[in-house]
Structure 1
Amino acid sequence: MTHIDLLINALTTLLVTIDPPGLAPIFLSLTVGMNRQERFLVARRGTLIAFFILSAFALFGNGILSLLGISLGAFRIAGGMLLFWIAFEMIFEKRNERKEKTGEIAITQDQIHNIAVFPLALPLIAGPGAISATVLLSGPFSATIDRVQLILVIAFSLAILFSFLVIAERVDRFLGVTGRAILTRLLGVILAALAVQFVVDGVKSVWA
């Protein structure tokens, strides 16, 4: 796999895991009663916080694994299984139900001005799936310049997510119920294939 292929794979994996079209309607439910400017501020703050979280795992995730005595191969297998479960939820429409429940809990327990931190940044954007994917993707990017490129990929992915959150109302109206269902299932199939590849790579690494 060439370096360009690795970057494309990283971008695809992050976009599918973060799921901007799927988060747009959840974001609307979290920000009910807010005007456009308030939603913009919440989206910006939540995206920035998620960026710093994912960047930290991109830089130090492997070091944390080494400290805990966990091989990258083992983490690839575990992360691949987790991503496959997320893909399963996406295909069978379980993920949005869970996210909507998380959003409802947050609205009753937290003040509106803190919603960018929880649940938007954590766990809706930088959730277990995105964190696992980031650590897995950081494996081949060992050099400093490679890590910088991976962080740029993370930034680009979150910039796309931010644009979806800003135009969430338009996206929701454009896709409709049928469009969201089709897109979510399609992304779920792609993520399932990527998850299987992670497991295969992890098994090869462990056996090697």
Structure 2
Amino acid sequence: MIELFLSAFATLFVVIDPPGCAPIYAGLTKGATHAQQRAMAVRAVVIASAILLVFALVGEALLKTLGISLNAFRIAGGIMLFLIALEMVFEKRQERREDRATKIMETPEVEDVSVFPMGMPMIAGPGSIATVMLLVSRAEGLGETAAVFGALALVLVLTLVALLAAGPLMRLLGAKIESVITRLLGVLLSALAIQFVIDGIRRSFGL
């Protein structure tokens, strides 16, 4: 149970990437007051939590409706997570996030960033949605499912903390340290992604 919790926490933490969301959020909310920044941070995490919870609860049923096996989804999800990991290692993911944030800031009429881009796709993006569905599909019994949801809740709380402390956090870490952390997390995610693919292949062929 503890191993599953730690594995789920590590996977979700790497995919959602609270430290990586913090600088983007700080840039998007530069002109906002502290109260507005806090409100948008809370709304973004609540919206992302709702999206991830829905996919965690009905994702498996949706796959069955579409005629997609869980093993096929494990393999596809693992490949997608591996691509995300490569982007993290080579710092492409952060560049894409920064480009998206720049486009939002260049649009004057956009003020509230809690729904887009923070809630979705930065927190509840394709990678995190796929990961939640994969982890829940692997969980057996109420205890393991609770462990996955507990890990998700903890990561989302840490994400909220990172957003609330975005400005001070960026000044404390600095660009170089953040880059090193992102690459290390990318290596970890790549290993976890390969494990998803291996599990999917093994179960498909009954190994």
TM-score band, normalised by shorter chain? over 0.9
How many positions carry a matched residue from both structures?
A: 205
Q: How does 1:56-205 map to 2 (within 5 A)?
A: 56-107=54-105, 108=107, 111-113=110-112, 115-205=113-203
Q: What displacement does 1:32 show? A: 1.7
Q: What displacement does 1:152 show? A: 2.6
Q: Which amino acid aligns with 2:126?
A: P
C-alpha separation between the residues in 2 aligned to 1:56 and 1:154?
A: 13
Q: Which amino acid aligns with 2:92?
A: K
Q: Which amino acid aligns with 1:172?
A: M
Conserved? CA contact 1:58–1:147, under 8 Å: no
- TM-score normalised according to structure 2 size: 0.94
Q: How does 1:22-61 map to 2 (within 5 A)?
A: 22-61=20-59
Q: Which amino acid aligns with 2:33?
A: N
Q: What displacement does 1:112 show? A: 0.9
Conserved? CA contact 1:55–1:154, under 8 Å: no
C-alpha separation between the residues in 2 aligned to 1:109 and 1:130?
A: 29
Conserved? CA contact 2:75–2:201, under 8 Å: yes
Tell me the alpha carbon deviations over residues 117-142 of structure 1, each in whole angstroms, 9 at most, x when there is no partner: 00001000000110011011011224
- The corresponding residue for 1:4 is 2
C-alpha separation between the residues in 2 aligned to 1:149 and 1:87?
A: 24
- TM-score normalised according to structure 1 size: 0.94
C-alpha separation between the residues in 1 aligned to 2:20 and 2:172?
A: 13
Q: What displacement does 1:21 show? A: 0.8
Q: What displacement does 1:109 show? A: 7.0
C-alpha separation between the residues in 2 aligned to 1:164 and 1:32?
A: 15
Tell me the alpha carbon deviations over residues 168-205 of structure 1, each in whole angstroms, 9 at most, x when there is no partner: 11111111111011000000000000001001101101
Q: What displacement does 1:110 show? A: 5.3
Structure 1 SS opposite 2:138: coil
Mark the runs of 5 or more structure 2 residues left unpaired by the alignment: none
C-alpha separation between the residues in 2 aligned to 1:191 and 1:109?
A: 36
Task: Give the stretch that moved more between structures: 179-188 or 30-39.
Answer: 30-39
Task: Give the stretch that moved more between structures: 139-148 or 67-76.
Answer: 139-148
C-alpha separation between the residues in 2 aligned to 1:123 and 1:31?
A: 17
Structure 2 SS opposite 1:139: helix
Task: Give the stretch that moved more between structures: 138-147 or 19-28.
Answer: 138-147
Tell me the alpha carbon deviations over residues 143-175 of structure 1, each in whole angstroms, 9 at most, x when there is no partner: 345434422321111000110111111111111
Mark the runs of 5 or more structure 1 residues left unpaired by the alignment: none
